[in-house]
Amino acid sequence: MLPVVALVGRPNVGKSTLFNRLTNSRDALVADYPGLTRDRKYGQAKYEGLQFIVVDTGGISGDEQGIDAEMAEQSLLAIDEAHVVLFLVDARAGLTPADIGIANHLRKQEKTVYVVANKVDGIDGDSETAEFYSLGLGEISQVAAAHGRGVTQLLEKSLKPLEKSYPDMHIPEVVRNDDGENAEAELQRLQSLPIKLAIVGKPNVGKSTLTNRILGEERVVVFDMPGTTRDSIFIPMERDDREYILIDTAGVRKRKKVSDAVEKFSIIKTLQAIEEANVVLLCIDAREGIADQDLSLLGFVLNAGRSLVIAVNKWDGLSKDIKDDIKRELDRRLGFVDFARIHFISALHGTGVGHLFESVQEAYASATKRINTSMLTRIMEMAQEDHQPPMVRGRRVKMKYAHAGGYNPPVIIIHGNQVEDLPDAYKRYMMNYYRKSLQTMGTPIRVEFKEGA
Ligand code: GDP
Ligand code: GDP
- What pLDDT is attached to residue 62? 63
Residue 214 alpha carbon to ligand 2 centre in Å = 14
Task: Return the axis-axis angle of helices 292-304 and 267-276, rounded to nearest 10°.
Answer: 30
For 238, other C-beta atoms within 10 Å of its C-beta total 9
Hey, is 311 helix, strand or coil? strand
Q: What are phi and psi of 336, to 5 degrees?
A: -75, -10
Beta strands in 48-83 (DSSP E): 50-56
Q: Which one of the ligands is nearest to 10 CA?
A: 1
CA–CA separation, 191 vs 279, rounded Å? 13
- What pLDDT is attached to residue 143? 97
Of ligand 2's listed atoms, the one at least distance from the Cα of 211 is 7
C-beta of 118 in contact with ligand 1 (< 6 A): yes
* Annotated binding residue 286: no
Cβ-based neighbours of 291, under 8 Å, separated by 6 or more: 202
Of the candidate CATH numbers 3.30.70.20, 3.10.450.50, 3.30.300.20, 1.10.760.10, the domain formed by 373-451 belongs to: 3.30.300.20
Label residues 142-160 b or e (16+ Cβ within 10 Å = b): bbbbeeebbbeebbeebbe
Residue 207 alpha carbon to ligand 2 centre in Å = 7
pLDDT-based confidence at residue 36 (cuts at 50, 70, 90): very low
The pTM of the full predicted model, rounded to 2 decimals, is 0.81
- Of 14 and 392, more confident: 14
Whether 4-169 shares its CATH topology with 182-368 is answered: yes
C-beta of 16 in contact with ligand 1 (< 6 A): yes
Residue nearest to atom 19 of ligand 1 (CA): 14
CA–CA separation, 309 vs 279, rounded Å? 7
pLDDT at 82 over 60: yes
Of the candidate CATH numbers 2.60.40.10, 3.40.50.300, 1.10.1370.20, 1.10.540.10, the domain formed by 4-169 belongs to: 3.40.50.300
ipTM, interface predicted TM-score of the complex: 0.83
- What is the topology classification, in CATH, of domain 182-368? Rossmann fold (3.40.50)
Residue 98 alpha carbon to ligand 1 centre in Å = 17
The sign of the CA dihedral 60, 66, 71, 76 is positive
- What pLDDT is attached to residue 313? 97
* Burial class for 219, CB neighbours closer than 10 Å (0-12, 13-18, 19+): exposed
pLDDT-based confidence at residue 257 (cuts at 50, 70, 90): very low
* Annotated binding residue 280: no
Around ligand 2, the residues with Cβ closer than 6 Å are 201, 203-209, 250, 261, 313-314, 316, 346-348
Length of the chain in terms of residues written: 453
Residue nearest to atom 22 of ligand 1 (CA): 119
Residue nearest to atom 12 of ligand 2 (CA): 206
56-79 pLDDT tens trace = 887 676 666 665 666 566 667 778
